[in-house]
Amino acid sequence: RSPIAQDPHGRIYYTDGRFPKVTDATIATKGDGNHPTSSYRLGIPAPTTAPVCTVQQGGDVSDDNPNDDETRFYTETFVSDYGEEGPPGPASLEVTLRTPGTAVQLTLAPVPLQNASIKRRRIYRSASGGGEADFLLVAELDASVLSYTDKIPAKNLGPSLATWDYLPPPENMTGLCLMANGIAAGFAGNEVMFSEAY
């Protein structure tokens, strides 16, 4: 069972020799026959295609100073119906903004066929400050959205990307167990693997 107390989804994690799965109180008991009747593949895959970026015309052309050009990269993640965020996909090609206030049009690939209940996608862009660079949240969109225009000022960006190494479990993982500190563990071959804490 889910390590989260009073989990609103009633999730159960299990393996059946094919790949690790998760089901919940809503989909597990639908219909007749053996239960659970439905499940999702455990883990959220990374996007396989980078966002395609187009710099739009506009901005403050009176401030076209080459010394303050802004260089950006974009990436995205997928988010499940449970709110679980997966690892980022490949970063976009470099985008250079020559004038302040310039918008960037992002073209996103359709979510690939999968069994992970992907419902949302999060857009991140690179930002730097204090000598350090990171990817910060720009927007969260429905998974079906394939185009987005970024006009967000740097001061309004969200939290940094935290799921760089959140990889789905391997298909041959078995022996799932929950530990008291909110971490799940399992093994694949001679390797023991641990999840992030809830």
CA angle, residues 117, 152, 120, in degrees to nearest 5: 5
Residue 65, SS3 per DSSP? coil
- Whole-number pLDDT of residue 90: 97
> Within 13 A of 179's CA, how many CA atoms are on the CB side?
13
Residue owning tokens 């760089």: 164
- Whole-number pLDDT of residue 11: 82
Residue owning tokens 């119906």: 81
**Mean local confidence (pLDDT), 39-63:** 83
* DSSP bridge partners of 114: none
For the stretch 124-169, pLDDT in tens is: 999 976 566 799 999 999 999 999 999 999 999 999 999 999 988 8
Among 130, 135, 123, 131, which Cα is nearest to 160's? 135
**Six-digit token string for 197:** 């804490």
- Whole-number pLDDT of residue 111: 93
Cβ(36)–Cβ(11) below 8 Å: no
**Six-digit token string for 57:** 């015309």
For residues 126 and 42, the model is more confident at: 126
* pLDDT band per the 50, 70, 90 thresholds, residue 58: low
Can you tell me the distance from the alpha carbon of 123 to that of 105, in angstroms, rounded to the nearest whole number?
A: 12
* pLDDT band per the 50, 70, 90 thresholds, residue 3: low
Which has the minimum average pLDDT: 34-38, 79-83, 126-130? 34-38
pTM of the model: 0.85
- Whole-number pLDDT of residue 136: 97
